[in-house]
Amino acid sequence: MEQGQGKKKTEKGRSPGAFRRIWGDFALWTRTFVVCVVDGRKDFPYVTRRLFQVPVDFCAAFTPYYGARKAGRFAALLTDYLFGMARFLEKLKCGGPVPGDMRQAWYRSAGALAEFLSELNPLWNRQAWQNSFYRHLTLTEKQAQARLRGKHEEEIEACNGLSALTGEMADRMTRGIALQFEKKNPK
């Protein structure tokens, strides 16, 4: 079978699987980043670079639907979110409590992402996206805490949760785009 044959495509010609792949990368590289931060691994710069490629990948996938400016805005917001995560994890690794303002900044970036997505596509519910990003925050912190304590079963449980969550986020995004553009271009 030829590549792409048999896969349903949206009106703009992009495979819905592109968003599932990118959200899967988001989960994978978030997990790997946590491991690098907590363990102080030497591959940290390479993993960081790959994690921060995810917003660029989203930008490329969004551009055919929403244009370069809006796609770039999403990429910038997601980059801010990742920087917040990085600062949070570095502080967590140092021990002691994470300052409330640092946690609040990370949550604000999640809220900004949810708000932007709901404005971008009227079929995307702001509260659903916000809940998803907040859940991502919680699971990422749980993964890091478990790794720091050597509780590897708890760490794997958090990673499984992240994988399932990003799958849901991918499906929500794909459905929303397909429906939005189906309504604009009825057959």
If one counts every other C-beta atom within 10 angstroms of the C-beta of residue 63, the result is 18
pLDDT at 12: 45
As a whole number of angstroms, the distance between CA 84 and CA 87 comes to 5
How sure is the predictor about 6, in pLDDT bands with cuts at 50, 70 and 90? Answer: very low
- Tokens found for residue 95: 């021990």
pLDDT digits over 170-185, tens only?
A: 999 999 999 998 866 6
Q: Residue 151 gets which letter from DSSP?
A: -
pLDDT of 85 over the 80 cut: yes
How sure is the predictor about 78, in pLDDT bands with cuts at 50, 70 and 90? Answer: very high
Which residues are CB-contacts of 101 (< 8 A; sequence separation ≥ 6)? none
Q: If you average pLDDT over residues 16-32, what whole number do you get?
A: 92
Q: Which residue has the tokens 């959200």?
A: 23
pLDDT of 24 over the 90 cut: yes
pLDDT at 115: 98
For 169-173, the CB contacts below 8 A with 24+ separation are 169/23, 169/129, 169/132, 170/19, 170/20, 170/22, 170/23, 170/24, 171/20, 172/124, 172/128, 172/129, 172/132, 173/19, 173/23, 173/124
As a whole number of angstroms, the distance between CA 117 and CA 5 comes to 30
> What is 58-117 written as a DSSP string?
HHHHHHHHHHHHHHHHHHHHHHHHHHHHHHHHHHHHT-SPPPHHHHHHHHHHHHHHHHHH
pLDDT of 11 over the 60 cut: no
How sure is the predictor about 95, in pLDDT bands with cuts at 50, 70 and 90? Answer: confident
pLDDT at 134: 97
pLDDT at 17: 75
Q: If you average pLDDT over residues 141-157, what whole number do you get?
A: 96
pLDDT of 2 over the 60 cut: no
As a whole number of angstroms, the distance between CA 175 and CA 75 comes to 20
Q: If you average pLDDT over residues 83-105, what whole number do you get?
A: 90
pLDDT at 13: 44
How sure is the predictor about 7, in pLDDT bands with cuts at 50, 70 and 90? Answer: very low
